[in-house]
Amino acid sequence: MLRQTIRALGQREDRRFTRAELERLLFGSPMRKLQLLLGHAHESTVYIYLDLLDEFQEIVLSALAEWDTQVAALEAVASEAAAA
């Protein structure tokens, strides 16, 4: 039934849908679904969380890069001590 619906929408003479438009028609807005899953009254609240996630990701990636630098320095000291 879903395949038939997709074919029918794709064969409409009065309007050609893009893939993204077809997905929205069939599945709804992903942001709206996320809003409902989180239990928020407004979709704009979801964007606040997404902005925070971007910020947190930058913080984590920066901390991991710093961690890698510290580990490399410690390994260099340990290999120098072992060689001496």
- One digit per residue, the tens of pLDDT, for the chain of length 84 reads 667 777 777 676 677 777 787 777 777 777 888 888 888 888 888 888 888 888 888 999 999 999 999 999 999 999 988 887
What's the predicted TM-score (pTM) here? 0.45
pLDDT at 12: 66
pLDDT at 1: 67
What is the distance between the alpha carbons of residues 9 and 26, in angstroms, rounded to a whole number?
Answer: 10
Same domain as 54, residue 76: yes
Do the Cβ atoms of 49 and 34 come closer than 8 Å? Answer: no
Same domain as 32, residue 50: no
> Helices 30-38 & 43-83, crossing angle to 10 degrees?
80
Same domain as 61, residue 29: no
> Domain containing 80: what range?
46-84
Provide the number of structural domains found in the chain. 2
Same domain as 31, residue 54: no
Same domain as 25, residue 7: yes
